[in-house]
Amino acid sequence: MKFLYYPGCTLKNKAKALDIYARECAEILGFELVEINDFQCCGGVFTTSADEIATKLAVVRALKAAKAAGMPLVTVCSACHNVIKQTNHAMQTDAVFADRVNRYLNDGDDYHGETKVYHYLEVLRDIIGFDKVKECVKYPLNMNIGAYYGCLMLRPGSVIEMDDAENPQIMEQLIKALGGRPVEYGNRNECCGGYVTVTDPGFARKRSRIIYESAETAGAEMIVTACPLCRYNLIKNGADIPVKYFTELLSKALIGEKE
């Protein structure tokens, strides 16, 4: 199966690991990621101001590209995924917003949210199946791993519709399929402080500490995430255990550690 792939700008520099392993593993698991031509930054945040369309146009262009290619759109980064899904939902349900966007783009092909958007994890769960993933594992992880969802991947739950935002299981299921032992800790879906780290580093430090300490207390030997910003914050603010992308974990189990 083919997917139009939206890596996002962070995956092209700071978070290359998230991108590279995602591609490698897709090949092994039997699906193809076709990188979208000339993608633009998703904006990083879905602004909720009602009259704001400019920062969402880049995403609508990507969604339209997928529609034109007849492929679902897949993302790996939590922030991109959040902005794309929320924008797509707005195009489906908010007629006024959709009308303004379509008239602005004015390229003869109106868009109303026809593209199906997946997070890479959803592809693994809903299309490939974690059973199949499990079959492909060559190097079972055999360690205690705490999944860290952060705030963007699942919320708002009624729009993202990926998993129960308050009691998610998707990453735990992946960890299990990869031969690891998932550790469910209390703060696994709390915010790390996000971009606030720029203006108020103390606040982000406080938030991040709550999260990794909660994971460590619960017995996690590693934290796994899908968000470059979460990983940055946790590491910068002193996590004592490794913080990895879920794609790194996937690659480690399917392909093995690289030197």
Partner 1 sequence: MQKIGVFVCHCGTNIAATVDVSAVAAALSAEPGVVFAREYQYMCSASGQDLIKDAIKEKELTGVVICSCSPRMHEATFRKAAASAGLNPYMVEIANIREQCSWVHKDKQSATEKAIILGRAAIAKVALNTPLKPGEIPVTKRALVIGGGIAGIQTALDIADAGFEVDIVEKKPTIGGKMAQLDKTFPTLDCAACILTPKMVEASQNEKIRIYSYSQVEAVGGFVGNFTVKIRKKARYVDETKCTGCGLCTEKCPVKNVPNEFNLGMNERHAVYIPFAQAVPKVAVIDADCCRMLKDGKCGLCSKLCGAGAIDYKQEDEIIENKYGAIVAATGYEPISLDKFDEFAYSKSKDVITSLQFERLMNAAGPTGGVLLRPSDNKHPKTIVFVQCVGSRCEAHAKKGKEYCSKICCMYTAKHAMLTREKYPDTDVYVFYIDVRTPGKNFDEFYRRAAEEYGVHYVKGMVGKICAEGDKLKVQASDLIADKQLHIDADLVVLAAAIEPDKSARPLATLLTASMDTNDFFTEAHPKLRPVESPTAGVFLSGCCQGPKDIPETVAQAGAAASKVIGLLCKDKLTANPCVAHADELMCNGCSTCENVCPYHAITYIDKEFKMPDRTVKVRRVAQVNPAVCQGCGACTVACPSKAMDLYGFSGKQIYAEVDAICR
Q: Which positions touch partner 1 (CB under 8 A)?
A: 157-158, 164, 166-167, 184-187, 190, 214, 217-218
> Of 87 and 187, which CB lies nearer to partner 1 in the complex structure?
187
101 touches 60 (CB < 8 A): yes
H or E element at residue 125: none
> Of 49 and 167, which CB lies nearer to partner 1 in the complex structure?
167
> Of 148 and 185, which CB lies nearer to partner 1 in the complex structure?
185
From the CB of 164, what's the least distance to partner 1, in Å? 6
> Of 30 and 157, which CB lies nearer to partner 1 in the complex structure?
157
From the CB of 113, what's the least distance to partner 1, in Å? 17
Would you give the DSSP letter of residue 126? I
User: What are the tokens at 144?
Assistant: 């205690």
Q: In 137-227, which ranges are continuous DSSP H helix? A: 157-160, 170-177, 196-199, 201-217
Termini Cα distance of the chain: 31
From the CB of 148, what's the least distance to partner 1, in Å? 14
For 121-145, the three-class secondary structure string (H helix, E strand, C coil) is HHHHHHHHCHHHHHHHCCCCCCCEE
From the CB of 166, what's the least distance to partner 1, in Å? 4
